[in-house]
Structure 1
Amino acid sequence: MTEFSHDPIIPYKESGKSKKEQVAEMFDRIAPRYDLTNRVLSGRSDVAWRKKAIGLLKKYRPQELLDIATGTGDMAIRACKMLSPRHITGVDISEQMLEVGRQKIAKEGLGSKITLEAGDSENLRFPDNRFDAAMAAFGVRNFEHLEKGLSEMCRVLKPGGQLLIIEFSRPRPGLFKGLYQLYMNVVAPHIAGLLKQNKEAYQYLNKSARAFPERKEFTAILEKTGFKNARYRALTLGICCIYTAEKP
């Protein structure tokens, strides 16, 4: 199994716990203000990115969806409203993020359509060929073993099933790239601190985003782990990419 440059990046350098354990602990800590911080840091661009990505699934009319690293359920709730599927199952390793998500789902009256459960995305409990579509928004870079997690997503998809992933990427060289790096390295952690979030967590998220394989490198990994027709499209001057692929 290939190790990628982002794999060994961990939230807490002094901790003796595994990356998976540290990521779960980190998200448990920041769960209460996670949504607010995301909206502030992205200027609500994260909402537009999710809408854009989910819109790509409309023509497939998926009925059973899997939302990996579902967190507080943003992607699942948006997909439920836009796609009207039969059911969405969200999986995450952070119990506190899931609890926030369940409260949001109940408030939206979507409890019969969306189920959130604790689980390891690299060892999914579902049988082969279970879902019509699988999606993940800003979560796959937190996998301890990227190829293992992607292979699991492929395994549980039905033949012809659709994969949808949103991840941060790095802008191409130029003035905007310098401003972006200043924002991510200095401004964003400071804002997170002002919002009483864990600055270490947002520094980790920045480092993992910078090291994550992107664009053609990531589509090549998708095809290596069992997918075909892997493509990407860059959004917002290249700071985010939507990846699509399908199971043969």
Structure 2
Amino acid sequence: MSDPQKAPDQEPVTHFGYQNVPESKKAAKVAEVFHSVAAKYDLMNDLMSAGVHRLWKRFTIELSGVRPGNRVLDIAGGTGDLTKQFSRLVGSNGEVVLADINASMLKVGRDRLLDLGVAGNVKFVQADAEKLPFPDNHFDVVTIAFGLRNVTHKEDALRSMLRVLKPGGRLLVLEFSKPSNGLLSKAYDTYSFSLLPMMGKLITNDAESYRYLAESIRMHPDQETLKDMMASAGFERVSYHNMTGGIVALHRGIKP
């Protein structure tokens, strides 16, 4: 959600972590972060979450209801964790599109999946979530995992996802959220702003990118706010499931 603090004749600004930047600059700044971390992204995910991110993604796949023959769009698909599983589920008559705005992440995902022999029913598309280059009513399921918080205009992205879904299609948003317990929240803050940049420095030689990732999580809408945003975009039966004490939440909505 952008924060249009705008003086007369000036471009609106939005948040990039805890900084305010012109809206037109945010996408490029986010791209710099992911260009920097792409090569070690999977390793850092395992270290940051102690491997628990794999359980979060497994639950997302289970709740997606993807079946053979479905057409699935995996936005901000990165290194292809969800795409790999969806490819297996949709089978030879289905299709999965791994979309990412970042060329470095898309290349890492494509190379990884090709190395694993996942190719026949998968397409790779560089795409902006706010302006998805796909027809109306095209996909049975759309997912975005750990990507929505980096989008400048989240409302526009949600409406774009709604447009490309078939009636009755499902959107699943897996994202860091707000811990439900005060003690857990304090411990999580200590981890995020002390240990996370340190790990980033050691593993990727880039503490600043991981400091941004920690800040971007804090600036992301909480569970109820995102639920309301999805409903306002046109989704029905919107619900969410907290995982790991609310550190992560999975939101689900249906296109009417």
Structure-1 separation of matches of 2:69 and 2:184: 37
Structure with bigger RCO (C-alpha 8 Å, 6+ apart): 1
- Alignment CA distance shift 1:13-1:198 (3 Å): farther
Q: Which moved more, 1:92-101 or 1:197-206?
A: 197-206
5+ residue gaps, structure 1 = none
Structure-2 separation of matches of 1:13 and 1:175: 27
Q: CA deviation at 1:73?
A: 1.5
Q: Tell whether the 8 Å contact from 2:168 to 2:255 is kept in structure 1 after alignment.
A: yes
> What are the residue-to-residue correspondences of 1:189-204 with 2, within 5 Å?
189-204=197-212
Alignment-derived partner of residue 57 in structure 1: 64
- Alignment CA distance shift 1:147-1:221 (3 Å): same
% identical aligned pairs: 34
- Alignment CA distance shift 1:28-1:40 (3 Å): same
> What are the residue-to-residue correspondences of 1:102-121 with 2, within 5 Å?
102-121=110-129
The count of residues paired between Structure 1 and Structure 2 equals: 246
Deviations 1:134-192 (A, max 9, x none): 00000011111010011100000001100111010121243222111100111111111
Alignment-derived partner of residue 137 in structure 1: 145
Q: Tell whether the 8 Å contact from 1:9 to 1:207 is kept in structure 2 after alignment.
A: no
Give secondary structure in 2 for the equivalent of 1:18: helix
Structure-2 separation of matches of 1:67 and 1:235: 21
Q: Which moved more, 1:135-144 or 1:103-112?
A: 103-112
Structure-2 separation of matches of 1:195 and 1:99: 20
Cα root mean square deviation, aligned: 2.2
Give secondary structure in 1 for the equivalent of 2:131: coil
2:169 maps to 1:170: no
Q: CA deviation at 1:8?
A: 2.0
Alignment-derived partner of residue 89 in structure 1: 97
Structure-2 separation of matches of 1:198 and 1:15: 21
Which of the numbers 68, 74, 97 marks the counterpart of 2:81?
Answer: 74
Which of the numbers 124, 141, 156 marks the counterpart of 2:164?
Answer: 156
2:8 maps to 1:9: no
TM-score, structure 1 normalization: 0.92
5+ residue gaps, structure 2 = 5-12
Which of the numbers 41, 44, 52 marks the counterpart of 1:34?
Answer: 41
Alignment-derived partner of residue 217 in structure 2: 209
Give secondary structure in 1 for the equivalent of 2:179: coil
Structure-2 separation of matches of 1:95 and 1:165: 22
- Whichever residue aligns with residue 146 of structure 2, its letter is F
Q: Tell whether the 8 Å contact from 2:79 to 2:109 is kept in structure 1 after alignment.
A: yes
Q: CA deviation at 1:112?
A: 1.0
TM-score, structure 2 normalization: 0.89
- Alignment CA distance shift 1:234-1:75 (3 Å): same
